[in-house]
Amino acid sequence: MAQTNEPTFQEIAETIRRLEELLDRVPDPLARDIRQKIAHLRALLLEQRSPNLVLVGRRGSGKSSLINALFGARVAEVGHVKAQTGRGRWFDVHGELGTLSILDTRGIQEGSRPEEADEADTPLDSILDEVRRKAPDALLFLVKSTEVDAAIDADLDVLAQIVSAVEQAHGSRPPLLAVATHCDLLEPKRTDLHHPDSQDPSDLQEKLRHVEAVERQLREKIRSRDELRGELVTVMGVSSYLSWRPDGTIRSDERWRLGELAQVLFRELPEQGRLVLARVTRVRALQEELANALTRAMASLCMGLAVVPIPIADIIPITSAQVSLIVGIAWISGRQLDLKASTEFLAALGVNVGAAFALREAARALIKFVFPGAGSVVSGAVAFAGTLAIGAAARAFFLRGVSAEEARNLFQSTRASAEAHPDRALTDG
């Protein structure tokens, strides 16, 4: 959780603490509702941690490649290397934007065929000890598409044992995602799944039918196991193929459906793990989903706080929350979190931030901009609309890369329509 030591996260934590103080003045049913929203924000922003993923799959099924494909970088050794790094132990895989905690089960499925075993094999018992020690957030079961026919009973036994060890130790069963790798190698081999638009349509259809057949077969095998059926959340064919130049840059990127896989995984993760996954994978849909969730939570939080008459001095925590929202969205987009990025953004929106060098200063500058003509109180609708508009502008600017002028226009139009129709604004994307 190194990220949460960042000074700006400390400021966000401080802002949240001050918002909670304000809550003491809010009548109870409302306060309870707001406290829930704060808990949500805490989980997303302040309690973020690396997701814990267990990879189960035979030699060469593509475990290491899948990790690289999720990161879009060469972070794990591919091929039959005898690297012992973290073998059979939880180990951290570091990318530029974050870390995933991985338990690679390499070698345990081949236990029944000792002639193929080597010193890199990990006994099942040590894997089970590891998942008892630290709970997995998800199990990823990898099978090569060209080998789904092969007996995978031994693999399913391993999965079942892991699931039951996790349940005994932690009281809940982890979600299971079955991944058919190497889909690019299915017939017709030369049809590129990752460039669907430039392929012969009937060849592409044929290839996709083969992918579906593989998925169906894999699904049936897993569903035939009582111990696994309930945990299966998806069966998905993918290609993780990436080719690297000797200097580590990408030569060709033939990944297919990795974004979709990341999306399913994202939904299965506890909230604390979602931000890291969105950053690490840089999947736009995840960034948008998270930034949306953050915006809504922050907007209804600010609305709730504004319902009780708050003197103008107390609007600062509200505007601090709004600056925190900008900072949070910039962070989701993969920017190095700093106040500079958020004050630059505010300046682009047209806020005169002057020498803002702390969240509180920026928040002070924001007041007049977001609450023009605010007297001694800010209405709930105005606080809500202003926060929603800031979130919309920040998403457009940081995630979609629109110009400062477009972000500013979006701020104004979103605020106007959210003030006019607050109910509609909350349900819109």
Ligand X SMILES: Nc1nc2c(ncn2[C@@H]2O[C@H](COP(=O)(O)OP(=O)(O)OP(=O)(O)O)[C@@H](O)[C@H]2O)c(=O)[nH]1
Dist. CA 109–CA 374, nearest whole Å:
66
> Is the backbone peptide bond immediately before 311 cis, with ω within 30 degrees of 0?
no
Which position among 3, 64, 263, 287 is part of the footprint of Mg ion (CB under 5 A)?
A: 64
Output the CA torsion sign for 290, 291, 292, 294. Answer: positive
Is the Cβ–Cβ distance between 329 and 294 less than 8 Å? yes
Dihedral, CA of residue 272, residue 278, residue 279 and residue 283, to nearest 10: 180
Which position among 50, 65, 101, 281 is part of the footprint of ligand X (CB under 6 A)?
A: 65
Q: What is the per-residue DSSP string for 375-416?
A: -S---HHHHHHHHHHHHHHHIIIIIS---HHHHHHHHHHHHH
CB closer to ligand X out of 63 and 395:
63
Query: Which pair of structure tokens corresponds to residue 370?
Result: 């977001």
Binding part of the chain for Mg ion, among 38-46, 57-65, 302-310, 313-321 by CB under 5 A, reads 57-65
Which position among 41, 50, 62, 378 is part of the footprint of ligand X (CB under 6 A)?
A: 62
Is the Cβ–Cβ distance between 361 and 30 less than 8 Å? no
CB atoms within 10 A of CB 354: 12
CB closer to ligand X out of 88 and 98:
88
CB closer to ligand X out of 15 and 68:
68
Dist. CA 250–CA 238, nearest whole Å:
19
Which position among 4, 20, 39, 60 is part of the footprint of ligand X (CB under 6 A)?
A: 60
105 binds Mg ion (CB under 5 A): no
360 binds ligand X (CB under 6 A): no
Rg (CA), the chain: 25
Least distance to ligand X, CB of residue 228, Å:
20
* Residue closest to 79 by CA, chosen among 68, 65, 69: 65
122 binds Mg ion (CB under 5 A): no
Binding part of the chain for ligand X, among 78-86, 229-237, 276-284, 357-365 by CB under 6 A, reads 78-86
Is the Cβ–Cβ distance between 227 and 163 less than 8 Å? yes
Least distance to ligand X, CB of residue 236, Å:
12
340 binds ligand X (CB under 6 A): no
- What does 195 interact with, of Mg ion, ligand X, none (CB < 5 to 8 A by kind)? none
59 binds ligand X (CB under 6 A): yes
CB closer to Mg ion out of 143 and 316:
143
Query: Which pair of structure tokens corresponds to residue 23?
Result: 């809550």
Dist. CA 174–CA 399, nearest whole Å:
31
Least distance to Mg ion, CB of residue 394, Å:
39
Least distance to ligand X, CB of residue 124, Å:
15
CB closer to ligand X out of 63 and 415:
63
Contacts of 134 (CB under 8 A, 6+ apart): 52, 90, 101
Burial level of 355, CB count in 10 A (0-12/13-18/19+)?
Answer: exposed
Q: Mask 156-195, x = binds ligand X (CB under 6 A)?
A: -------------------------xx-xx----------
Q: Which residues pair with 139 in a beta bridge?
A: 54, 176
Which position among 27, 29, 79, 429 is part of the footprint of ligand X (CB under 6 A)?
A: 79
CB closer to ligand X out of 27 and 79:
79
CB closer to Mg ion out of 58 and 63:
63
Which position among 12, 16, 38, 63 is part of the footprint of ligand X (CB under 6 A)?
A: 63
CB atoms within 10 A of CB 28: 7
Least distance to ligand X, CB of residue 426, Å:
41
Dist. CA 27–CA 305, nearest whole Å:
10
CB closer to Mg ion out of 64 and 414:
64
Count of residues that interact with ligand X, criterion CB under 6 A: 19
241 binds ligand X (CB under 6 A): yes
The binding site for ligand X (CB under 6 A) comprises 57, 59-65, 78-80, 106, 181-182, 184-185, 239-241
